[in-house]
A and B are shown apart, each in its own frame.
Chain A
Amino acid sequence: MSAETAGPETLGSLSNEPEHQDPNSQQAKEISGKSPLRIALGRLARDKVAVLCALVVLFFIICAVFAGPISKLFGVSLDTGLASEYVDGLNNGLPKPEMGPPNGPFTWDHPMGVAPRTGQDNLAYWLYGCRVSLTIATSAAIFASTVGVVIGLVSGFLGGAVDKVLSFFIDMFLTIPFLLAALTLAPILNERFNTSDNYSTIQKISLICVLAVFGWMGTARLIRGEVLSLREREFVQAARVMGMPTSRILFKELLPNLAAPIIISISLMLPAFVALEAGLAFLGIGVTDGVSWGQMILDAATPVYFRDYPQYLWQPMVGVVALVLSLNLLGDAIRDALDPKTRR
């Protein structure tokens, strides 16, 4: 059977390629004044899912940035008194009735209830957990993509021995199993820093480093591939011929053309890091001071509490799931907007 080659007719019908337009038409004039990013933003704004996800993400960002004021508004805080003031030790450590669910009615003193066993206020911990989650994920994403972009640029543009060496490092880091490395590093970092007064800050910084160190390779590969094709383009050749320094070619000529893949990789890295942060905290090798969604899930994930007090587990779960899902969908939408030729 002879393979049907895609003729010009089929290509045309399947392609989203704008049809050839009259440069003097109304439509063309509208587009002509806009940068590619503006056009992409316009496409994004027309995508209902993207808008919804952006709103959800915005909500979480507001929660994270204004965790303090919002807590104050509700009159809750991370500082809790002694456990016995809030929970009943003889009733499975569940909150006392006056503290709200599951044994009492809703109360504005603790809008999301208090935690069994410790009496910590769930709303305050949820808000600050959101802050921790987003701070760590964002910093790690920025860190990882910066490293990834620089290495990808250099390795793709310079080629030769530099490319070989850098590609080797990319491959090497890809072979290291992330979880195993994180499990190994946690006790080492603890041993080194546990007497420090800023232990919890150091813990978060090292978590950011660990996430970034094991997260830059994808971006680096992507950028390297893009650069390999870009560097043979006429404008780069022209810049070279004109004697521009390499750094200028890299950052003034190539980088702006890579905006789309960089934005895409960051927007897909964020949800991955949010999920990883929660996962590591759940395993007890991430944030260990309790202010983290992962740690809240760890505390709540026993059959007893889930049966008697399900909202205790749902609260952090909904946080993680909603944030990761909307970041993911938003990332997809951004990719579609920036790169309309990709078909799904």
Chain B
Amino acid sequence: MKRNKPLALVAGAALLTLAACGGGSSDNGNGDGGTDRKIGAQEGGSKDAERQGPAPEVDGAAAGGTITVYLPGDPGPDSLDPTGGWSVTGNSIQQALTSRSLTQYSRDENGQPVLVPDLATDLGTPNDDYTEWTFTIRDDATWEDGKPVTAEEVAFGICRSLDSEAFPSGPGTEYSKTYFAGAADYKGPYTGKDPNCEKYDGISVDGQDITIKMEKPFPDMDYWGAFMAMGPAPLGNASKPPNYGTKPLSNGPYKVDSYKPNEELVLVKNDQWSADSDPARHQYADEFVFKFNQDQAKVDEIMLSDNSDSQTAVSTGLGSGNYNDANAQLGDRLVQQTSQCVSTLTPDYTKITDINVRKALAYAYPYEDVWISGGEVPGVTRDYANSIMPPGMAGKKDFFVDGEQIKYDPEKSKELLAEAGYGDKPYPITMVYYEVDPLAKDAQDQITKGFEAGGFSVKAIPVQESPYNIWLDPDNKVNKKLNLRGVNWCSDWPAGSTMLPPLLKTDAVYNTAFFSESSVDDEMDNIATLPLEDQAGAWGDLDEKIMTDYFPIIPTAFRNDLFVFGSKIGNPTGDGSIGAPNYKDLYVMQ
């Protein structure tokens, strides 16, 4: 899932983050304003197929009021079309408030996200080898115009996700297209001139039952069902893109009142939504106002002032310069949320072929200095990473490649380089940085200093577009010179299958290391065929094996987000499934 926000704010190795939707937890701070916030332990991967509506009331919750959400430095989604949504911002808002799908996450009392049914009555029934999934659609869900949500509409919505030309950056391009039977040959309802999706037979409707056939085993279909792309769409032209994206028909507790892309989104109560039909959503506030592209410094001042405007406001970010003040002043209204993301450096596997050189890079990277100069708070918004799988993912192992956490150690780096036969002269590294952002430039300075102390020579190329545009473009002349790239990657759900294959499988789009080992590819394919209960452990083992045997990618940090809640916002919590405020359970204290 794409991360829009950090373009300007998150400097360092990479700027945009893809993917986030998975299990996780939040540590709600210590309440006493202490400074020892730590990344919360996560378990992840729990499910409850029996959960039924209405969702349990939040203690002390009251109805009414308007909640204003400031999104500093975050342009927000370009379109509200559920099928096209694959960004942390858009999905977190729409999935919680307007657009229902087959399944959804609910936050349990420990802060863990639990996968529960949504439009389906349970979490779906797979056949033995996970090549066919059946979901029964509930009959009491309604659209904002009062009409019932039918199984045909859900099936049509799912079918839309197969149109990778109409929704080029939608998540369907990654999952529906890969797993659904015959999806590769079907162009989709719009590109394929099949407005009612009649020519595709991978999805069949029988009464309230929807059956999806898979091309290959897909045990994670229930998690994939939590994406709003796996939700209903009005049949025919009513939901034709791109117009549908400006005012999608809502079926959740709120509906779109007005939407100005990159500026503002106003959601108001949807009186047709019935709480009985929904196992996890609430409808406490009268109105949600999302303000995109806010200035971080301005928002920080508003939130810290605790005036009448900010008491009912939420901010999805906090400037690192304000962390101490905020931590002391706000207590548990400053929420730290793991974002299920890992920042990485990816040495080009075809150019840096010696594992010792890759390890030397890991020892020469001045982790804390990069975080500090990039505007992050060490140990709070960034923490040392030991593996590719983020904390809380089912099956993650706490192994250390060299017996202990790799930290900045230039001497060790030099030793490793000497061992690899590059001891006599500096090993050349070519990388890019985002020149427009002074934070990125400062972070790059630290990286350069660290690498040079560790026996490398660094050529840092300044670029004025997103580094992802360089890294992902095989024909880019700058990209051809690079031997060190980077990716920030977040899981789509708490399974290793959304972390390891996208980053390390041969020819995966975001495999910017160009790592390619057929044994690893085979193992990835093999894990998908294992019994479900063994898969998590198998991904964890594979993670350790890859890191120990090949060390193809240098995890530089696990990432956390900070959210600020106004003093009259009730239940200030984060949504561990996606790395956003927990919009579903917020209310305004009366």
Contacts and interface: CB of A to CB of B under 8 A. Distances in A.
A18 interface: no
Nearest to B446: A83
Given A191-B464, A288-B435, A118 B323 contact: no
A87 interface: yes
A303 interface: yes
Interface in B377-393: 377-380
Nearest to B461: A194
B449 A92 contact: no
Interface string A180-199: 00000011001100110101
Interface stretch (B55-63, B124-132, B364-372, B575-583): B364-372
B476 to A, nearest CB: 10
A89 B450 CA distance: 17
Secondary structure type dominating chain B contacts: helix
B300 A118 contact: no
Given A89-B372, A190-B463, A199-B462, A290 B441 contact: yes
Contact of A117 (B297, B322, B366, B372): B372
Given A195-B481, A284-B436, A89 B377 contact: yes
A93 to B, nearest CB: 6
A242 to B, nearest CB: 58
A305 B320 CA distance: 11
Nearest to A79: B449
B444 to A, nearest CB: 11
A279 B449 CA distance: 29
Contact of A87 (B297, B319, B372): B372
A84 interface: yes
A84 B407 CA distance: 14
B39 to A, nearest CB: 15
A92 B461 contact: no
A299 interface: yes
A84 B436 CA distance: 24
Nearest to A187: B464
B37 to A, nearest CB: 10
Nearest to B435: A288
Contacts of A172: none
Given A82-B449, A117-B373, A93 B320 contact: yes
A35 interface: no
B478 A83 contact: no
A276 interface: no
Give the size range of B's interface with the partner: 35 or more
Contacts of A90: 35, 324, 377-380
A80 B453 CA distance: 12
A192 to B, nearest CB: 11
B442 A118 contact: yes
A51 interface: no
B411 to A, nearest CB: 14
Contacts of B437: 284
A93 B446 contact: no
A199 B300 CA distance: 36
A24 interface: no
A238 interface: no
Nearest to A115: B442
A118 B437 CA distance: 14
A290 B463 CA distance: 15
A304 B449 contact: no
A91 interface: yes
B445 interface: yes
B372 A304 contact: no
A303 B459 CA distance: 34
A304 B300 CA distance: 9
A32 interface: no
Given A89-B377, A295-B438, A304-B297, A84 B319 contact: no
A81 interface: yes
A84 B324 contact: no
Contacts of B372: 83-84, 87, 89, 93, 117
B373 A118 contact: yes
**Of A91, A93, A284, A302, which is in contact with the most chain B CB atoms at under 10 Å from its CB?**
A93
B464 A302 contact: no
A303 B301 contact: yes
B375 interface: yes
Interface string B504-520: 00000000000000000
A304 B369 contact: no
Contacts of A83: 366, 368-369, 372-373, 446
B462 A288 contact: yes
Contacts of B373: 83, 93, 117-118
Nearest to B465: A187
A298 interface: yes
B435 A304 contact: no
Contacts of B297: 302-304
Contact of A304 (B35, B321, B380, B442): B321
Nearest to B481: A195
Contacts of A288: 435-436, 441, 462
B320 A92 contact: yes
Contacts of B436: 284, 288
Nearest to A119: B373
A117 B442 contact: yes
Contacts of B319: 302, 304
Nearest to A93: B372
A49 B437 CA distance: 41
Contacts of A299: 438, 442
Interface in A299-344: 299, 302-305
B369 A284 contact: no
A82 B367 CA distance: 10
A92 B449 CA distance: 22
Given A93-B321, A190-B464, A284-B436, A84 B369 contact: yes
Nearest to B453: A82
A82 B369 contact: yes
Contact of A186 (B324, B377, B439, B464): B464
A92 B35 CA distance: 12
Given A84-B372, A288-B462, A194 B478 contact: yes
Contacts of B462: 190, 194, 199, 288
A305 B441 contact: no
A304 B465 contact: no
A275 to B, nearest CB: 20
Interface in A124-174: none
Contacts of A303: 297, 300-301
A84 to B, nearest CB: 5
Contacts of A190: 435, 462-464
Contact of B321 (A82, A186, A197, A302): A302
A44 to B, nearest CB: 41
**Of A92, A118, A289, which is in contact with the most chain B CB atoms at under 10 Å from its CB?**
A118
Contacts of B301: 303
Contacts of B459: 197
**Of A80, A295, A303, which is in contact with the most chain B CB atoms at under 10 Å from its CB?**
A303
Nearest to B323: A92
A194 B450 CA distance: 22
A83 B319 CA distance: 18
B377 A195 contact: no
B374 to A, nearest CB: 8
Contacts of B408: 82
A257 B301 CA distance: 59
Interface string B464-498: 11000000000001100100000000000000000
Contacts of A92: 320-325
Nearest to B298: A303
B365 to A, nearest CB: 11
Lowest 7 A-B CB distances belong to which pairs?
Answer: A304-B321, A89-B372, A83-B369, A82-B369, A187-B464, A89-B378, A190-B464
5 contacts: A83-B366, A92-B321, A288-B462, A302-B297, A304-B297
Given A90-B377, A90-B380, 14 more contacts: A92-B320, A92-B321, A92-B322, A93-B320, A117-B375, A187-B464, A190-B462, A194-B461, A195-B478, A199-B462, A284-B438, A298-B438, A302-B321, A303-B300
